[in-house]
Amino acid sequence: MALRLGDYIEGGELLNLETNTTHGWLKLRGIAKPLGFELLGNPGKDLVGRHLRFECSASPLKCEERLDARNLQLPDRFIGATGTMTANHQTRLFDCSVEEFLRLCKRGTPPPTFWKRCVYLEWFGNCGRVLLELPDPRAYFVEVLEGKEIPFPLEPLPEPPLDQNDPTGESSPLEILEISTQDDDTLTINKTNISPDEEEDPYALFSDDFKKLIQTQEPVKTNTPDQAINYITSILDSSEEGAPLRSLIGPTPDWTQLDEKQVENHLKQTVALLALHNIAFHMCPHFTYADAARYLFEVLADQELANSQLKGTLWYVHYHTAEHCETCAKTYQTD
């Protein structure tokens, strides 16, 4: 199962101002400090190179939930690899309770539905699969001009793919992708606004075995700062050595048998699996996915150690291709 944060979100930001790196923060209800995310990879085309700021709708429809996140067991930051990320998703909503919607549908008199923009953010990492769906957001791009932040509106979306007065979708070549009741009893009706021949599996980068592994991980159990400090001290005082990264990521693939997309796939899966052990891997803008994959498997895998005891703490190990990048080294020397 995915960790769904949409019903807990107040707002946040996503930045992809440097190639191969997507980061930002989320403000959840009931949690005073925003939670950061640091991900390897790029978002969808509409967000590449952009700084997106978003907040939940000021006037939620009755089918939406506003929940408190204090009882969730969450880390202080999310690490891992990007999945599907876009601000151009479209979601179909209704202005009544889920129970009322189902009752009226059974009677053959479904209530009106509305197509709304939806910020859709997905990633894979230290909490398994994480999904944030924020319908009808107050969202805009941020650009800095002469030292000042200037808001720019998002590009308008095309006309909704289905007729609002035809909830069955019989007059449309597109079908409703999902009508389901989630664990929190909210009902979603979703469809990405793309033509059938352009439709892509949002999990296309990830194999079935990987999806099964990453989605069955238990929620991360974090400790208080004092508990974390005591725990990490006991680890540092221990004589036990960690195992090489190779023990977590497996053998080096035969790169000649993989195309560019498959290499990206393999790297992102590996980074997501490392994140389950509180190990982050970052890419500088000068590396391709192939460069980064070779650096991880052929340079770091047998030299660096992985301590599985870090899982569930507030401590992380970070590796970065900048440590092996000549262009980055020259830049730092110039600075």
Q: What are the pLDDT digits (tens) for 212-262?
A: 555 544 444 445 556 556 655 655 555 556 789 999 999 999 999 999 999
Quick one: average pLDDT of 263-290? 95
**What share of the chain has pLDDT > 70, as a percent?**
74
State whether 177 and 289 are in the same domain. no
The answer to whether position 16 is within a domain reads: yes
The answer to whether position 122 is within a domain reads: yes
State whether 192 and 245 are in the same domain. no
Would you state the pLDDT for residue 116? 87
The answer to whether position 65 is within a domain reads: yes
Quick one: average pLDDT of 95-117? 86
Would you state the pLDDT for residue 296? 97
**Better-predicted residue by pLDDT, 293 or 212:** 293
Mean of all residue pLDDT scores within the chain: 80
Q: How many folded domains does the chain comprise?
A: 2
Residue 56 pLDDT level (bands cut at 50, 70, 90) = very high
The answer to whether position 239 is within a domain reads: yes
Would you state the pLDDT for residue 215? 53
Select from 173, 204, 235 the last residue of a domain: 204
Select from 176, 204, 232 the last residue of a domain: 204
State whether 59 and 173 are in the same domain. yes
The answer to whether position 210 is within a domain reads: no
Quick one: average pLDDT of 290-298? 97
State whether 184 and 233 are in the same domain. no
Least confident of 75-89, 135-149, 150-164: 150-164
State whether 310 and 174 are in the same domain. no
The answer to whether position 216 is within a domain reads: no
State whether 144 and 172 are in the same domain. yes
State whether 64 and 192 are in the same domain. yes
187 class by beta-carbon count within 10 Å (0-12 exposed, 13-18 middle, 19+ buried): middle
Angle between helices 208-215 and 260-275 (to 10 degrees): 20
The answer to whether position 217 is within a domain reads: no
Place of tokens 């002469």: 146
State whether 192 and 229 are in the same domain. no
Residue 143 has pLDDT above 50, yes or no: yes
State whether 145 and 263 are in the same domain. no
Select from 204, 237, 265 the last residue of a domain: 204
Distance CA 266, CA 248 (A): 14
The answer to whether position 213 is within a domain reads: no
- The beta strand positions in the chain, using DSSP E, are 3-4, 9-18, 21-28, 35-40, 51-55, 77-94, 113-125, 128-135, 138-145, 148-153, 178-181, 187-190, 243-244, 279-282, 305-306, 317-320
Domain of 279?
223-334
Nearest CA-CA partner of 119 in 106, 100, 136, 102: 136
Quick one: average pLDDT of 125-153? 94
12 Cβ partners below 8 Å, 6+ apart?
24, 25, 26, 27, 34, 53, 54
State whether 79 and 171 are in the same domain. yes
State whether 178 and 49 are in the same domain. yes
The CA distances from residue 329 to 21, 149, 284, 322, in Å, are 18, 31, 11, 7
Distance CA 205, CA 224 (A): 35
Residue 54 pLDDT level (bands cut at 50, 70, 90) = very high
State whether 267 and 196 are in the same domain. no
